Amino acid sequence: MTFTSARKLEHIDIVRKGGVEPQETTLLEYVRIVHRSLPEANLEDIDLSVKLCGRELGAPLIITGMTGGHPDVEPINAAIAEVAEKFGIAMGVGSQRAAIEDSSMIHTFSVVRERAPHAFIVANLGGAQLAKGYGVKEALKAVEMIRADAIAIHLNIGQELFQDEGDTKFSGVLEKVAELVEEMPVPVIVKEVGTGLSAEDISALRSVGVKCFDVAGLGGTNWIKIEALRSKAKHGAPLRDPASIADLWGNPTAIAIVEARNAAPDAYIIGSGGLRDGHDVAKAIALGADVGGFAAPALRALSAGREGLERYVSQILYQLKAAMLMSGSKRPQDLWLAGITIWGRLKDELESRGINIGSYLNSRAMTLLWRRRDNDI
């Protein structure tokens, strides 16, 4: 078993214990979807199906990548896959570096496709590994390992900088991503891990052909904090102490979603980072995301077994349906037409970034019309 594999189990244990969220919030508390008392629709009229990276899902949810690479977490991937298959939602696996380094770890990932033969499954490699020499060869291995429908390249500079053994070289990643977009047989998703993509990053990535993004904003599981906790447990104090960076650094989820949609109107956008219920998912979509994503809550729900995760996902989907009906929306992207109010710090920060709230909300409607015209939603 490699050091990479052992580290995966340490990460899972820390996330399960909790206390890994920052003081900063998602800023979704500054979003309100306008209630409609006369929606002129019934609950059974609500259709949760939606497209993600060109593939139809049964509901606008993805359990984002966090697990795999150690024998003890294989059952976690198996259970998540079974739930994804049951509800027709998407699932990502954790970084597959461990299985590329050690073939004995492959089944901790490949079990996902065994348990979810029809689900939308996302492979995963790190941008830091691209900077160190990974490329199309390794990406193809990751995709083939789980017969993935897409591959995510995760950008985790904050985590790497505060991990005891983390990488500190990140140049050349954009060029490598461009190569993957050109050569890979499946869509390339670029994702953050909890500090949020920015408009500048989205624009650069869109310019090289990336059309799928997971913003993974600040306000949810924080990998800088996880690495600080991991280091503290080993050494009594973090070797690379992040201080206030662990709680305050990053682009909050609500901002990251708006910036992503504004910078790439034609992109598929996963809104993740601190989403905890169906109301959060509805807000993320109303702001401009195609689907909502979460990871840590899935791990914690699994403390009650696969049935616990099934209950949790079922509750999220009912809450989302309720929010849609109460906003007059029959399909997820109808939420782009729903009335919403944005105020306080979220409004101030978006405007300081050059985004006019009124113009942005109107642009969502135009994007919806384009996507419907192209049957891309």
Q: CATH number of the domain that 314 lies in?
A: 3.20.20.70
- Residue 280 falls in which region: left (phi positive, over 0), alpha (psi -120 to 50) or beta: alpha
Mean pLDDT of 87-113: 95
Please say if the pLDDT value at position 2 is more than 70.
no
Once rounded to an integer, what is the mean pLDDT over residues 84-103? Answer: 96
Q: Residue 3: its pLDDT value, please?
A: 56
Question: Is the model more confident about 334 or about 70?
Answer: 334
Exposure of 323 by Cβ count < 10 A (0-12 exposed, 13-18 middle, 19+ buried)?
Answer: buried
* pLDDT single digits (tens) 56-84: 999 999 999 887 768 888 999 999 999 99
Q: Is 191 annotated as contributing to ligand binding?
A: yes
**Residue 217 counted as an annotated binding residue:** no
Q: Binding site annotation covers 26?
A: no
Mean pLDDT for the stretch of residues 177-199: 98
pLDDT at 236 over 90: yes
- Domain range enclosing 74: 3-373
CB-based contacts of 175, cutoff 8 Å, min separation 6 = none
pLDDT band, very low/low/confident/very high, at 1 (cuts 50, 70, 90): low
What's the rounded Cα separation, in Å, for the pair 288 and 105?
37
For the chain, the domain total comes to 1
Judged against a pLDDT cut of 90, whether residue 18 lies above it is answered with no
Check whether 253 is labelled as a binding-site residue.
no
Write out pLDDT tens, residues 339-373.
999 999 999 999 999 999 999 999 888 888 888 87
Tell me the C-alpha distance between 111 and 78, whole Å.
6
Q: Place 265 in a pLDDT band, splitting at 50, 70 and 90.
A: very high
Provide the pLDDT for residue 203: 98
Those residues with Cβ within 8 angstroms of residue 355's Cβ, 6 or more apart along the chain or in another chain: 258, 259, 262
Average pLDDT over residues 168-189: 97
CA distances 9 to 12, 98, 126, 221, 223, Å, are 5, 11, 17, 16, 14
150 labelled as ligand-binding? Answer: no
Q: Is 160 marked as a binding-site residue?
A: yes
Q: Is 124 annotated as a binding-site member?
A: yes
The arithmetic mean of pLDDT across residues 169-190, rounded, is 97
Tell me whether residue 4 is annotated as binding.
Answer: no
Longest dimension (CA), the chain: 61
What is the Cα Rg of the chain in Å?
19
> What does the pLDDT read at residue 326?
98
Read off the pLDDT of residues 161-176 as tens digits, 9 standing for 90 and up: 999 999 999 999 999 9
Per-residue confidence (pLDDT) for residue 364, from 0 to 100: 85
Question: So what's the pLDDT on residue 372?
Answer: 82
Which pLDDT score, from 0 to 100, does residue 8 have?
Answer: 72
Average pLDDT over residues 109-136: 97
240 labelled binding-site residue: no
The model scores a pTM over 0.85: yes
What pLDDT, on the 0 to 100 scale, is given for residue 261?
Answer: 97
pLDDT for 377: 74
Q: Are 125 and 151 in contact (CB under 8 A)?
A: yes
> For residue 370, what pLDDT is reported?
82
Residue 344 CB neighbours (<10 A): 11
The residue among 27, 21, 23, 18 whose CA lies nearest residue 251 is 27
Backbone dihedral angles phi then psi of residue 114, each to the nearest 5 degrees: -60, -40
Strand locations in the chain, DSSP E? 31-33, 50-52, 55-57, 61-63, 90-92, 121-126, 150-155, 188-192, 212-214, 268-272, 291-294, 340-342
Residue 276 assigned ligand-binding role: yes
> For the chain, what is the mean pLDDT?
94
**Higher pLDDT among residues 14 and 198, named by residue:** 198
Q: Is 36 annotated as a binding residue?
A: no
Question: Tens digit of pLDDT for each residue in 300-332?
Answer: 999 999 999 999 999 999 999 999 999 999 999
Q: What integer pLDDT is reported at residue 89 of this predicted model?
A: 98
Q: Is there a contact between 278 and 315 (Cβ–Cβ < 8 Å)?
A: yes
295 annotated ligand binder? yes
Among the residue ranges 1-15, 77-91, 236-250, the one predicted with the least confidence is 1-15
**Was 97 annotated as part of a binding site?**
yes
DSSP H or E stretch at residue 28: none
Q: Is 331 annotated as a binding residue?
A: no
Work out the percent of the chain whose per-residue pLDDT is above 70: 98
Is 8 annotated as ligand-binding? yes
